Structure 1
Amino acid sequence: MASCADILRSEFPDLDGEVFAYVTGILHGGGADFESVDDLVEAVGELLREVSQDTKDDSAIREICQRLFNTLQLDEAQAQRCSQVLLDTPIQLSQIADGCGECCLGGPLMVNAKKLEKAEARLKAKQDKRMERDSLKSSNPLVLEEASASQAASKKETRMESSGKNKSYDVRIENFDVSFGERVLLAGADLNLAFGRRYGLVGRNGLGKTTLLKMIASRSLHIPSHISILHVEQEVAGDDTPALQSVLECDTTRESLLREERDLTAKVNAGRGEGTEGARLSEIYAKLEEIEADKAPARGPALNSNPFATSSLLREFSGGWRMRLALARALFARPDLLLLDEPTNMLDVRAILWLETYLQTWQSTILVVSHDRNFLNVVATDIIHLHSQRLDMYRGDFENFMKIKEERLKNQQREYEAQQQYREHIQVFIDRFRYNANRASQVQSKLKLLEKLPELKPVDKESEVIMKFPDGFEKFSPPILQLDEIDFYYDPSHYIFHSLSVSADLESRICVVGENGAGKSTMLKILMGELAPVRGIRHAHRNLKIGYFSQHHVDQLDLNISAVELLARKFPGKTEEEYRHQLGSYGISGELAVRPVASLSGGQKSRVAFAQMTMSCPNFYILDEPTNHLDMETIEALAKALNKFRGGVILVSHNERFIHLVCRELWVCENATVTRIEGGFEQYRDILKEQFRKEGFL
Structure 2
Amino acid sequence: MATYVDILKSEFPEIDIEVFDYINGVLESGGADFEDGEEVFDAIGGLLQGSSADCKNEDDVRDICLQMFNTLKLNNRHPARKQVLLDAPVQLSQISSDCVSATSDVQGIWMTKRGQNTTVNAKKLEKAEAKLKAKQGRRNEKDSLRPPTQVVLEEASASQASNKKDTRVDMSGKNRSYDIRIENFDVSFGERTLLQGAEISLATGRRYGLVGRNGLGKTTLLKMLASRSLRVPAHISILHVEQEVAGDETDALQSVLESDTVREGLLIEEKTLNTRIANGLAEGMESVRLSEIYVRLEEIDADKAPARASVILAGLGFSPKMQQQTTKEFSGGWRMRLALARALFAKPDLLLLDEPTNMLDVRAILWLENYLQTWQSTIVVVSHDRNFLNAVVTDIVHLHSQQLVSYRGDYENFIKTKEDRLKNQQREYEAQVQYRDHIQVFIDRFRYNANRAAQVQSKLKLLEKLPELKPLEKETEVTLRFPDQFEKLSPPILQLDEVEFYYTPDRKLFSGLSVSADLESRICIVGENGAGKSTALKLLMGDLTPVGGVRQVHRSLKIGYFSQHHVDQLDMNVCSVELLLNKFPGRNEEEYRHQLGRYGVTGELATRPVASLSGGQKSRVAFAQMTMPCPNFYILDEPTNHLDMETIEALGKGLNKFKGGVVLVSHDERLIREVCKELWVCEGGKVKRIDGGFDEYRDILHEQFRKEGYL
Q: TM-score normalised to the size of structure 2? A: 0.77
Structure 2 residue aligned with 1:239, among 247, 251, 272?
A: 247
Contact 2:32 2:73 in 1 (8 A): no
- Letter aligned with residue 81 of structure 1: R
Task: Report Cα offsets for 1:77-103 as digits up to 9, x if no partner.
Answer: 968732479xxxxxxxxxxxxxxxxxx
For the residues of structure 1 that align with 2:378 and 2:482, how far apart are their CA atoms?
A: 41
Residue of structure 2 equivalent to 1:590 = 603
Residue of structure 2 equivalent to 1:306 = 318
Structure 1 residue aligned with 2:574, among 550, 556, 561?
A: 561
Consecutive unaligned residues of structure 2, counting only runs of 5 or more, are 4-22, 36-71, 82-142
Structure 2 residue aligned with 1:441, among 444, 454, 458?
A: 454
For the residues of structure 1 that align with 2:608 and 2:534, how far apart are their CA atoms?
A: 31
Residue of structure 1 equivalent to 2:503 = 490
Structure 1 residues 360 and 456: alpha-carbon distance in aligned structure 2, compared to 1, 3 A threshold: same
Contact 1:319 1:346 in 2 (8 A): no
Contact 2:559 2:631 in 1 (8 A): yes
Residue of structure 1 equivalent to 2:223 = 214
Residue of structure 1 equivalent to 2:260 = 251
Residue of structure 2 equivalent to 1:632 = 645
Structure 2 residue aligned with 1:540, among 553, 564, 569?
A: 553
Structure 1 residues 280 and 575: alpha-carbon distance in aligned structure 2, compared to 1, 3 A threshold: farther
Asked if 1:578 is matched to 2:591, the reply is yes
**Displacement after TM superposition at 1:164 (Å):** 1.0
For the residues of structure 1 that align with 2:518 and 2:203, how far apart are their CA atoms?
A: 52
Structure 1 residues 428 and 350: alpha-carbon distance in aligned structure 2, compared to 1, 3 A threshold: same
Structure 2 residue aligned with 1:473, among 483, 486, 490?
A: 486
For the residues of structure 2 that align with 1:276 and 1:567, how far apart are their CA atoms?
A: 72
**Displacement after TM superposition at 1:479 (Å):** 2.4
Contact 1:137 1:143 in 2 (8 A): no
Q: TM-score normalised to the size of structure 1? A: 0.79
**Displacement after TM superposition at 1:161 (Å):** 0.8
For the residues of structure 2 that align with 1:84 and 1:272, how far apart are their CA atoms?
A: 93
**Displacement after TM superposition at 1:388 (Å):** 0.2
Residue of structure 1 equivalent to 2:136 = none
Structure 2 residue aligned with 1:161, among 165, 170, 184?
A: 170
Asked if 1:599 is matched to 2:595, the reply is no
For the residues of structure 2 that align with 1:205 and 1:327, how far apart are their CA atoms?
A: 23
Contact 2:245 2:338 in 1 (8 A): no
Asked if 1:142 is matched to 2:125, the reply is no
Residue of structure 1 equivalent to 2:387 = 374
Contact 2:144 2:151 in 1 (8 A): no
SS of match in other structure, 2:389: helix
Contact 1:178 1:186 in 2 (8 A): yes
SS of match in other structure, 2:561: strand
- Letter aligned with residue 473 of structure 2: D
Q: Out of 305-314 and 324-333, give the one that drifted further.
A: 305-314
Asked if 1:200 is matched to 2:209, the reply is yes
Structure 1 residues 136 and 653: alpha-carbon distance in aligned structure 2, compared to 1, 3 A threshold: closer
Q: Out of 482-491 and 279-288, give the one that drifted further.
A: 279-288
In the TM superposition, 1:348-359 aligns within 5 A as 348-359=361-372
Q: Out of 309-318 and 460-469, give the one that drifted further.
A: 309-318
Structure 2 residue aligned with 1:171, among 180, 189, 192?
A: 180
Structure 1 residues 495 and 80: alpha-carbon distance in aligned structure 2, compared to 1, 3 A threshold: same
**Displacement after TM superposition at 1:230 (Å):** 0.5
Structure 2 residue aligned with 1:615, among 591, 606, 628?
A: 628
How many residues are paired up?
592
Q: Out of 438-447 and 252-261, give the one that drifted further.
A: 252-261
Structure 1 residues 312 and 443: alpha-carbon distance in aligned structure 2, compared to 1, 3 A threshold: same
In the TM superposition, 1:59-208 aligns within 5 A as 70=30, 73=33, 81-83=77-79, 140-208=149-217
Structure 1 residue aligned with 2:562, among 531, 549, 561?
A: 549
Residue of structure 1 equivalent to 2:427 = 414
Contact 1:145 1:180 in 2 (8 A): yes
Structure 1 residues 617 and 266: alpha-carbon distance in aligned structure 2, compared to 1, 3 A threshold: farther
Contact 2:218 2:382 in 1 (8 A): yes
- Letter aligned with residue 313 of structure 2: A
Structure 1 residues 163 and 443: alpha-carbon distance in aligned structure 2, compared to 1, 3 A threshold: same
SS of match in other structure, 2:199: strand
Residue of structure 2 equivalent to 1:674 = 687
For the residues of structure 1 that align with 2:25 and 2:670, how far apart are their CA atoms?
A: 61
**Displacement after TM superposition at 1:694 (Å):** 2.6
For the residues of structure 2 that align with 1:82 and 1:266, how far apart are their CA atoms?
A: 89
**Displacement after TM superposition at 1:258 (Å):** 5.0
Contact 1:554 1:605 in 2 (8 A): yes
For the residues of structure 2 that align with 1:407 and 1:565, how far apart are their CA atoms?
A: 43
- Letter aligned with residue 176 of structure 1: F
Contact 2:209 2:389 in 1 (8 A): yes
- Letter aligned with residue 413 of structure 1: Q
For the residues of structure 2 that align with 1:135 and 1:353, how far apart are their CA atoms?
A: 46
SS of match in other structure, 2:313: coil
SS of match in other structure, 2:358: coil
Structure 1 residues 482 and 593: alpha-carbon distance in aligned structure 2, compared to 1, 3 A threshold: same
In the TM superposition, 1:447-466 aligns within 5 A as 447-466=460-479
**Displacement after TM superposition at 1:280 (Å):** 6.3
For the residues of structure 2 that align with 1:467 and 1:65, how far apart are their CA atoms?
A: 40
Structure 1 residues 590 and 237: alpha-carbon distance in aligned structure 2, compared to 1, 3 A threshold: farther
For the residues of structure 2 that align with 1:350 and 1:64, how far apart are their CA atoms?
A: 68
SS of match in other structure, 1:221: coil
Task: Report Cα offsets for 1:13-57 as digits up to 9, x if no partner.
Answer: xxxxxxxxxxxxxxxxxxxxxxxxxxxxxxxxxxxxxxxxxxxxx
- Letter aligned with residue 459 of structure 1: L
For the residues of structure 2 that align with 1:216 and 1:316, how far apart are their CA atoms?
A: 32
Structure 1 residues 482 and 410: alpha-carbon distance in aligned structure 2, compared to 1, 3 A threshold: same
Structure 1 residues 138 and 472: alpha-carbon distance in aligned structure 2, compared to 1, 3 A threshold: closer
Task: Report Cα offsets for 1:572-610 as digits up to 9, x if no partner.
Answer: 112222212211111111221122212111111110110
Q: Out of 321-330 and 392-401, give the one that drifted further.
A: 321-330
SS of match in other structure, 1:302: helix
> Cα RMSD between the aligned structures?
3.2
SS of match in other structure, 1:485: strand
For the residues of structure 1 that align with 2:427 and 2:468, how far apart are their CA atoms?
A: 14
Structure 1 residues 563 and 71: alpha-carbon distance in aligned structure 2, compared to 1, 3 A threshold: closer
Contact 1:323 1:347 in 2 (8 A): no
For the residues of structure 1 that align with 2:28 and 2:519, how far apart are their CA atoms?
A: 62
For the residues of structure 2 that align with 1:657 and 1:620, how far apart are their CA atoms?
A: 22
Percentage identity across aligned positions? Answer: 72
SS of match in other structure, 2:490: coil
Residue of structure 1 equivalent to 2:46 = none
- Letter aligned with residue 169 of structure 1: Y
- Letter aligned with residue 486 of structure 1: V
- Letter aligned with residue 247 of structure 2: D
Contact 1:238 1:316 in 2 (8 A): no
Residue of structure 2 equivalent to 1:512 = 525
For the residues of structure 1 that align with 2:538 and 2:168, how far apart are their CA atoms?
A: 60
Structure 1 residues 584 and 80: alpha-carbon distance in aligned structure 2, compared to 1, 3 A threshold: same
Residue of structure 2 equivalent to 1:663 = 676
